[in-house]
Structure 1
Amino acid sequence: MLNKRSVLLLLLAVQSVFAEVPIKPVPSERLSSHNFIENQLPIAEQTHEVINVPDTSFVLISQMSNSVLLKAQVDTHGAIQQLGAFEMENSTAALHGLAHSQRYPGKIWLTLQKANKLVLIDPKTDSAQTTPEVVQEIMVPTPGNGPHYVGEYGDELWVTLQDSSEVLRISHVNTSDYTIYTAQPRPIFIAQHPLNNMFYTGQDNSASIMKIDPTTGVTTQIAIPADAGKTPVGMITGPNGIWFTLLGDETSGTGTIGHIHADDTVTYHKLTSPLGINAALLHLAFDLDHANTHALWLLSSSIINTNALDTIIRVSFDEQWQTIKNEDVMAMPTQQCKAHRVLITPSNVFATELTSSKLLSFYTTNL
């Protein structure tokens, strides 16, 4: 006669035959992982621009508050391996803008906002500690004052003069050849349209963008409608036109990107994701392979709005650059850092943190 234990074992055996839970393999593919490295820099009140030195492992960073140029050698993950620091002119010269020179490959243009100078340097990439060499200095012609952003276009430099609210065009091969254009308060960036060849500058104390005809010298203003947002800051040349961001105001952002077409009509694209819809967008950069990825990188910043998140946002468009298809929002590890500039390199996405004296590197790992 079976005892209780034997009966239970028999029942379990029968159950295992007739009620076995099926187990089968399923796809185990994982999405790429997001990785952040925050490189601590020498402490400064304001860390501003970042630019790569082409065909090297170096990036340059401007610290405006003490006029220091940082030269950092980074690895493939964007971690700083060596760092050199160099005071430009003097501690009050206010180093700010950084731009590549196409005429002089490997050289970099700088702006010294308070010293009122444009400077071309050889960054000397044999070592982070090697002192950069000044190749050329150009004084901003009067009454211009306060060079903020500089861009090289052939033999010419186009410069926003933030302190005098003007734009400067000047030949870097014949500095007596220049034009100063009167703008509305505080022009920040300037870019040339790839189709109509006009120049455009965002004026961040005005709800307006100035267009400059370099042939006739005529300037016109393009008003930004109130329902789109305010405070145009980041502005770059991109697919089929000029692209810019709207920062918003002290209380809210609008998550808005603008696209200026060749006929000066503007298409406004609004982010719709929960973390993007009210983003305070300060800066932007296209993916290096944007012709295939149709991707645009954005930086949201707490620079004027303490309620805003500091984030990096990757936006994917359709092939015609007419519709946003996807938004990927990544909050930066240090919030309230007043995220300032974004730079795309073949290996990394870099961002400067204005008030925390950090260079953030973002990269993805495909598992």
Structure 2
Amino acid sequence: MDSLDILTNAEHIIPYFQAVYSADEQTVIGYEILGRIKVDQKVESMGPFFLDDSVPEEYKIEMDDLVLKKALEKVLENQENVLLFVNRDADLLMIDQGESFLSLLKEFQGKGLKLNRVVLEMTEHTFKGDFTRLQHMLTYLRTYGIKLSIENAGQESSNLDRIGKLSPEILKIGLQPLITTSPDQAYHNVLHSISLLARKIGATILYEDIEVDFQLQYAWKTGGRYFQGFYLSRPNPEFLEQNVLKEKLAAEFHHFIQREKRKIETFQRAAADFSQRIQSLMAKNKKLSGQYDNLIKELAEDLSDCSFRIYICNEDGFQQTGNIFKLENGWVTQPEYYMKNWSWRPYFLENIIRMRTNKKGYFSDLYRDIETGETIRTFSFPIDEHLYLFIDLPYTYLYEQEGML
């Protein structure tokens, strides 16, 4: 629909509501307010209107306010006690420092709307103005109880530092890439970084664009508390019954939990089997105690089927051997790695303490190797109270082992 058609048919604008569900209660906890317009018995999205750069800013603000006003009227009429996610372009909001937006909310506050139910949604990386002024404006709005949600977190040029400074209550992440492409480990690493940021700043993760069951499982598994998408429910001009999907979500979560338990049990069995293999090899090569470079050479021959790098570190992370590294034509020694220090790596010292305390080996999480760029795991094993063996396992091996990916 042409933008001019929307302006001349403003009386036909209808607010639609897309439900947001919670993982903890499996109920509808809120709605995102969306603009729709009905012309000739056909309902169309107003999204293209708001994305059209040729439309003057004042017209976009006018239509934004009209959609919100109609939505709030319906909310109060139905006495819905839910969160209301309101999309706003940050640059448009800054034109008057958010005053017109706040005035509209205050008008409905006088009619019974609680402002702590309003969640202001905006995209951080598209903002072109002064970031400090934006911070001040958002801080002011939040004194009224209004919450902040950053949309499209992790996409395009999202700046985690700026997101951290805004300290939103909600980070909204789209899962469309899980369907449209086959994202590599880097995509999952970005989402992992965002989940860590959310935890640090006390934000809740809302996953949107959930269109199939495996996306819901991914959202559940990676720390999502709120979910939204066509798989759950489509935008609707009416509100849904709060428990409409409670039984379905509870059943799906039970299925996810059972599957995850089986995966964890399989991984633990694999870890125990591998640990037993290393213990046997260490006993076999007991005569090489103290001859650590010779020890890793012997181990390499026995572990040629599953490893590409082996070395030994002390409890402070300094290598007490070089590396022995597997190439296409066999193993080579890399003496230049002697006394390299790896204590700076995340969880390195924590794992050292775990091994020293529990007297057993551990697999690392999946991570990308700095030198090869390959997704790997490292198995670490205590030789004694001061020395620890590290065995790097390539992706090809992990792929062949059940539960290792």
- Structure richer in helix, relative to its length: 2
Q: Which has the larger radius of gyration?
A: 2
Give TM class, smaller chain: under 0.3
Considering Cα pairs closer than 8 Å and 6+ residues apart, tell me whether 1 or 2 has the greater RCO.
Answer: 1
TM-score (norm 1): 0.27
- Structure richer in strand, relative to its length: 1
TM-score (norm 2): 0.25
